[in-house]
Structure 1
Amino acid sequence: MSELPPLNSLRAFDAAGRRLSFRSAADELGVTQGAVAQQVRQLEALLGVVLFERVPKGLAFTPVGRSYHNRIAGVFADLRAATAELKPEPNKVLISVTPTFAAKWLIPNLPDFTAAHPDIDLRIMATERVSSFHSDGIDLAVRQGSPPFGASLDVTLIFKQSLIAVAAPKFADKGDALLDPDKLARMPKVHDTHDQWPSYLSYLGVQEQSPRHLHLSQTSLAVDAAIAGQGLALVSRFLVAQDLEAGRLVEVGAAWDAGGSDFYVLMPRTAKNNVSVVKVMTWLTARSAEVA
């Protein structure tokens, strides 16, 4: 059969199959029970199969009816979801961030945002992939790197990339704020995908002498491993501010301003008329200045 069945018949079948009742399907669709039953009968006649068994308490699928409904229901669910995404939601803001930024900075600071803007539905897309403003439908993005990021974007610096070496308290020397560089070079290291340890040790004027290395895919995992006592991690200071304050980590290596990898918040210039997006952008820049 090259042509699709009538849409109204498919809608009636979808609703009746989800509710297993012509009466309930009619209430959902805003038509009469007889109209739903007629649409389903027409669909059965067109397909040449029986989709439902009529039972005293309503409807029961035939095997072929159940199989067909599983496919049809999925299609209608996709259509409803696609339509919902197109509907304007003035208070919804979707922000794209890395999993580390989400876990170590954004989520811990969300109570402040919620208190300031309880009316905004902030949604977080945490991914290592560089999301697209157009195809992914994001409103804001926090990205690490160097401008330019695109002529159509407003770009605001929120954090400089100031790296520090951190570790569980057991690695710190008593009475000394920082480890001697030679001693630091001999300590076990935790690496993330950025792998800045070689450049950092070169900045300190020492060579790597650690007997043990742990390699992880995300900075947040490296931080957690450092808290668990697996070695020294190299991380942006703002990402571990709360862990340092709580005593879960201590700073054991001097700060290093690694150029070219700062953190920026990006907003399409077309979003300037969206009040909710501008509010989130303003909060991000203000909050980052407070806790930097």
Structure 2
Amino acid sequence: MLPSLRGLQALSLLSQTGSLTAAADILGVSRSALSHRVADLERQLGVILMQKQGRSVVLTDDGEALIAVMGDALDRIEAAVEPIRRRRSQLRISTVATLASHWLLPRLPEFRALHPDIEVALTTTRRAINLEAEDFDCAIRHGLGNWPGLTATLLFRETLAPVAAPGADQNLEGSSIIRARSRFRDWSRWWTASRRAGRPDDGGLVVESRAQALEAALAGGGIAMIDMAYVDEHLSSRRLQLLAPPITLDEGYYLLSRSVRRNDRILGAFEQWIVAVSARSRAEAGAATSQ
């Protein structure tokens, strides 16, 4: 039978500190509790491992030999166990970078204030993930809601609208439009749904992502076609202006989770919060549109 890990940990700290009080303080237990741990270990092994020497505690030859053989084994065990222990209070989320930067991260301090005991670990990627195989509790993804085998909760439908900074070129028929390669069809979709004649200009600025398109628009570089969820605060603060009414797409952003969930208490708290925040965000976007 393996010896008590708690006893080995107590013995190791005694070896390092030479003091029952100091070792007990490190472990957050009483001197008596620490002594009992070592005594239990001694009974298991059938040898004496420590002895008092004045006000100090020293290890016997058997104790020193045991510590020497253990080496850094306890540290390596602790390093392996700590991530598993933390996992019980950690929420792991996968989402896309633009949503994270311009919608989720600005709102997360509210969740952290409500649930300070929950550690949030956020990862951004555009690739599809497998929630059954990967170490995430949930994901936020864009789509139609049809993810087989997963529970999909709609947060908000996507709404597209052209926005620009005050003073920038705001001619929708001109060459100041900003396109994102990751969402190249957004301009033509909005144009057609808005029943505008002709087609959007082929010129303008092409960037990699909608996050970059938004930054370019905020800097006065042209007109970006952006989801209203990302710009409500910029519209309220007058950093951006809405140039035409938005259109609502069939696609939206969904919170995805397994049908049988891990960390159900933590994920449930996050789900309740993000659904409420999404409803508030939709209301703010509607208010910004009506101004």
TM-score interval, normalised by the smaller of the two chains: 0.5 to 0.7
SS state at 2:198 partner: coil
Aligned pairs for 1:200-279 within 5 A: 200-203=190-193, 204-209=196-201, 211-216=203-208, 218-259=209-250, 261-271=251-261, 274-279=264-269
8 Å contact 2:163–2:241 — kept in the other structure? Answer: yes
Unaligned runs of 5+ in 2: 1-14, 27-37, 39-48, 50-58, 283-291
The TM-score with structure 2 as length reference comes to 0.66
Partner of 2:83: 85
Partner of 1:56: none
**Structure 1 position 241, deviation (Å):** 1.2
Q: Structure 2 CA distance, aligned partners of 1:114 and 1:86?
A: 21
Q: Percent identity?
A: 23
Partner of 2:162: 165
Q: Structure 2 CA distance, aligned partners of 1:211 and 1:96?
A: 35
Q: Structure 2 CA distance, aligned partners of 1:82 and 1:221?
A: 40
Q: Structure 2 CA distance, aligned partners of 1:148 and 1:123?
A: 26
Q: 1:112 aligns with which of 107, 110, 113?
A: 110
The TM-score with structure 1 as length reference comes to 0.66
SS state at 2:116 partner: coil
Partner of 2:141: 143
8 Å contact 1:144–1:264 — kept in the other structure? Answer: yes
Q: Structure 2 CA distance, aligned partners of 1:105 and 1:143?
A: 13
Q: Structure 2 CA distance, aligned partners of 1:125 and 1:84?
A: 20
Q: Structure 1 CA distance, aligned partners of 2:253 and 2:17?
A: 52
RMSD of aligned C-alpha atoms?
Answer: 3.7
**Structure 1 position 25, deviation (Å):** 11
Q: Structure 2 CA distance, aligned partners of 1:237 and 1:24?
A: 59
Q: Structure 1 CA distance, aligned partners of 2:221 and 2:266?
A: 42
Q: Structure 1 CA distance, aligned partners of 2:151 and 2:262?
A: 9
**Structure 1 position 159, deviation (Å):** 0.9
**Structure 1 position 134, deviation (Å):** 3.5
Alignment CA distance shift 1:35-1:227 (3 Å): farther
Q: Structure 2 CA distance, aligned partners of 1:41 and 1:158?
A: 57
Structure 1 letter corresponding to 2:271: M
**Structure 1 position 160, deviation (Å):** 0.4
**Structure 1 position 219, deviation (Å):** 1.6
Q: Structure 1 CA distance, aligned partners of 2:62 and 2:106?
A: 54
Alignment CA distance shift 1:134-1:272 (3 Å): closer
SS state at 1:101 partner: helix
**Structure 1 position 172, deviation (Å):** 6.6
Q: Structure 2 CA distance, aligned partners of 1:98 and 1:243?
A: 20
CA shift digits 1:107-133 (9 cap, x unpaired): 111222122222222221122222332
Unaligned runs of 5+ in 1: 1-22, 43-71, 174-178
Alignment CA distance shift 1:90-1:171 (3 Å): same
Q: Structure 2 CA distance, aligned partners of 1:164 and 1:116?
A: 33
CA shift digits 1:204-229 (9 cap, x unpaired): 3331225422222x221211111111
SS state at 2:91 partner: strand
SS state at 1:193 partner: helix
SS state at 1:170 partner: coil
Partner of 1:282: 272
**Structure 1 position 138, deviation (Å):** 0.7
